[in-house]
Amino acid sequence: MSERIELLPEHVANQIAAGEVVQRPASVVKELLENAIDAGGTEIQLIVKEGGKTLIQVVDNGAGMNRADAELSVVRHATSKIRKAEDLFEIHTMGFRGEALASIAAIARLDLQTRNGKDDLGTHLKMMGGTRESVEETVIPQGTSISVKNLFFNIPARRNFLKSSKVEFRHVLEEFQRVALAHPEVSFKMTHNDAQFLNIPESNLRRRIVNLFGSRMNDQLVPVGEETQVVRVGGFICKPEYAKKSRGMQFFFVNNRFVKNPYLHHAIMNAYEGLLRPDTLPGYFIFLEVPPDTIDINIHPTKTEIKFENEQTVYAILRSA
């Protein structure tokens, strides 16, 4: 019989895990959008209120879940995406930790409605601070709708730490842009405080960039392409004369997942050398494809940092491209 050591109750463990996964409303947006994509959604809608502080909702027309899967989806380490640790190195879908929904459910009011293609009736599951409030049958179209209300209501220290709605909305928009850029084949709608903010059809990458950042982008974009054994480079860079003083349009994707990598940013800045006015940053939308077993993308809980096996080679190829 142990005297001092106890296992934490599941809902406490989930709240702690939530601290890693969910920093702010934008983190929830990222997880829900990625899940919608993973489920094969082709039309995805994002609805937020007050920068996501009072409401974040994502509606997709993807595969949906049956009742048992819906109930499991909010349990920690419950995932349909990996079965064993080695799968982590092969994974092609966006998410793989199986803790996003459980974490979010632990620190908010989560309302999940879902129906798969086989069942006539869907499932409506309500969670409150990690505790299940109800599960009922419901009539809905195929797909999934998850709404997250009052984020951090039960962790006042985190809630107080949130910035103004305007600032939080900017973060939300950034996450949205990252997902929308990686998936031009999906149509997106976005609503903020009951007003439609964006409505972008499925398209190619160039059109997607223009739809997100304005029609003036069309003249600025220069395609890049390079293919080697180690890496395939694609996407667009902006002409140097359009470089701006502010950060904002620097996007790197590795195997279609947004990443931050100062080293690769440096490779691009290096390639622009002598072409930029002082203190300006060029926009870029670069997509790298590498064999999944040559990267480690799971080194950071929010999965935006990445390690390459052949970092120097990737740098050189990117720079010359």
Q: Is 168 in the site for ligand ADP (CB under 6 A)?
A: no
Phi, psi of 292 (to 5 degrees): -55, -25
Which of 51/95 has CB closer to Mg ion?
95
Stretch that binds ligand ADP, among 97-105, 159-167, 182-190, 206-214 (CB under 6 A): 97-105
The beta strand positions in the chain, using DSSP E, are 43-49, 55-60, 109-115, 122-128, 131-138, 143-149, 187-192, 195-200, 221-227, 232-238, 250-254, 257-259, 284-289, 295-296, 307-308
- Binding ligand ADP (rule: CB under 6 A), the pick from 52, 95, 235, 282 is 95
In the DSSP assignment, the letter for residue 277 is P
DSSP states of 182-202 as a string?
H-TTSEEEEEETTEEEEEE-S
- Least gap, CB of 90 to Mg ion (angstroms): 17
Instruction: Extract the tokens encoding 235.
Output: 């996407």
The whole-angstrom distance between residue 118's C-alpha and the CA centroid of its chain comes to 28
Q: Give the strand order in the sheet containing 131-138.
A: 131-138, 122-128, 109-115, 143-149, 55-60, 43-49, 187-192, 195-200
Q: How far is the CB of 310 from Mg ion (least distance, A)?
A: 28
The yes or no reply on residue 142 touching ligand ADP (CB under 6 A) is: no
Amino acid at site 2 = S
Of the pair 49, 303, the CB lying nearest ligand ADP is at 303
Phi and psi at 306, nearest 5°, equal: -145, 145
Residue 78 interacting entry, from Mg ion, ligand ADP, none, C-beta within 5 to 8 Å by type: ligand ADP
Contact between 78 and ligand ADP per CB under 6 A: yes
Residue 5 C-alpha from the chain's centroid: 37
Comparison of 65 and 318: residue with beta carbon closer to ligand ADP? 65
Binding segment (CB under 6 A) for ligand ADP, from list 94-102, 148-156, 175-183, 233-241? 94-102
28 binds Mg ion per the rule CB under 5 A: no
Among 144, 177, 187, 211, binds ligand ADP (CB under 6 A): 144
Sheet holding 257-259, edge to edge: 221-227, 232-238, 284-289, 250-254, 257-259
Residues 35-54 that bind ligand ADP (CB under 6 A): 35-36, 39
Among residues 14, 27, 35, 177, the one that binds Mg ion under rule CB under 5 A: 35
Which of 60, 135, 51, 151 lies closest to 103, judged by CA? 151
In angstroms, how far is CA 35 from the centroid of its own chain? 8
Which span (4-12, 57-65, 159-167, 182-190) binds ligand ADP, by CB under 6 A? 57-65
Pick the closer one to ligand ADP by CB: 47 or 209: 47
Which of residues 30 and 192 has its CB atom nearest to ligand ADP in the complex? 30
Burial of 84 (0-12, 13-18, 19+ CB in 10 A): exposed
Give the shortest CB-79-to-Mg ion separation in angstroms. Answer: 7
Q: Between residue 83 and residue 122, which ones bind Mg ion under the rule CB under 5 A?
A: 95, 100
88 binds ligand ADP per the rule CB under 6 A:
no
Residues binding ligand ADP (CB under 6 A): 31, 35-36, 39, 60, 62-65, 73, 78-81, 95-102, 144
Contact residues for Mg ion (CB under 5 A)? 35, 95, 100
